[in-house]
Amino acid sequence: MSPQDVDARHKAGHDENWDMPLTVTTWNINSVRLRIDLVARFIKAVRPDVICLQETKCPDDAFPLKRFRRLGYTHAALNGQKGYHGVAVLSRLPFEGVAIDNYCGKQDCRHIAVTLGETAGRRDPVTLHNFYVPAGGDEPDPAVNEKFAHKLSFLDELTAMEKLRPHSGARAILVGDLNVAPLEHDVWSHKQMLKVVSHTPVETGKLTAFRKIGNWVDIARELTPEPEKLYTWWSYRAMENWKAADRGRRLDHIWVSPQLGDRVSRLDIAKHARGWERPSDHVPVTATVEVS
């Protein structure tokens, strides 16, 4: 492309590197060491630029970094602990910054953020947040269920955080297992799920409030509006008939700031991964963002 062509594209409002999309995957892997072969299988097939994992259940010094490096993911940001929770960002692109926030007075490894900048081939920086929101237990009553109370407090803190409200023109992506299926068609039965943790009105209301106050764009529903059903999680309780029953929930999300709202060209939910041997109950979700 000649300098004149580049200048013309800028005048027309296009990015110089318009042909260099960024692919980002989010996946609650439910133990990265137990399922590293499944991660490798997915990576070899899809090759996202960045993969964000939740529920890694692995302290940082035991994370299988060598395996990821052999797969081409030489950059890693980790926030893990033994046996529970944990988040990680693995990337083929270098980071210019890494940040970790804690919520509800706990250091329970539920957030990590990275910045992709010039060294990653981005003209302007892109901030990527990776979250694992508490599941909330089984009883949707904060008075009797401490886990549910924790989940509601966590969502309240997300809503209150100024840094999670991208300022005008900021390029940001928020992904993760947010453990809430916010819309009617994000669950197999809206009526039957209203009293089930992950789809109760108090949870969906809080997650929606968080998304709206930050002006986040819910990419899945921008590209696939309701009433089409979308799921990213199928319970282990269904065992072999999970596919036939198809009683899923959309718990895994990719949101973008308004600046990137019209730059996401596709979103893929790898439902087939739920049928792999010893799978996670979540499947990978991948967005392609046309951003220089």
pLDDT higher than 60, residue 11: no
pLDDT higher than 70, residue 248: yes
**Phi/psi of residue 127, nearest 5 degrees:** -95, 130
Q: In this structure, what is the dihedral angle of CA atoms 39, 43, 45, 47, given to the nearest 10 degrees?
A: 160
pLDDT tens sequence across 99-141: 999 999 999 999 999 999 999 999 899 999 999 999 999 999 9
Among 69, 55, 57, 66, smallest CA distance to 27 is for 55
50-54/22-28 β-pairing: parallel
Predicted pLDDT of residue 238: 73
Architecture of domain 22-289: 4-Layer Sandwich (3.60)
DSSP string, 201-216: HHHHHHHHHHHHHTT-
Q: What is the DSSP letter of 15?
A: -
pLDDT tens sequence across 161-194: 999 999 888 999 999 999 999 999 999 999 999 9
Contact (CB, 8 A) for 233 and 227: no
pLDDT interval class at 241 (50, 70, 90): confident
Share of the chain above pLDDT 90, in %: 88
CB atoms within 10 A of CB 165: 16
Q: Is the pTM above the cut of 0.85?
A: yes
Residues ≥6 apart with Cβ < 8 Å to 211: 182, 218, 255
Spatial strand order of the sheet with 50-54 comes to 75-79, 87-91, 50-54, 22-28, 285-289, 264-269
Count Cα neighbours of 85 within 13 Å in the Cβ-side half-sphere: 20
CB atoms within 10 A of CB 32: 26
Among 232, 29, 55, 219, smallest CA distance to 135 is for 55
Burial of 74 (0-12, 13-18, 19+ CB in 10 A): middle
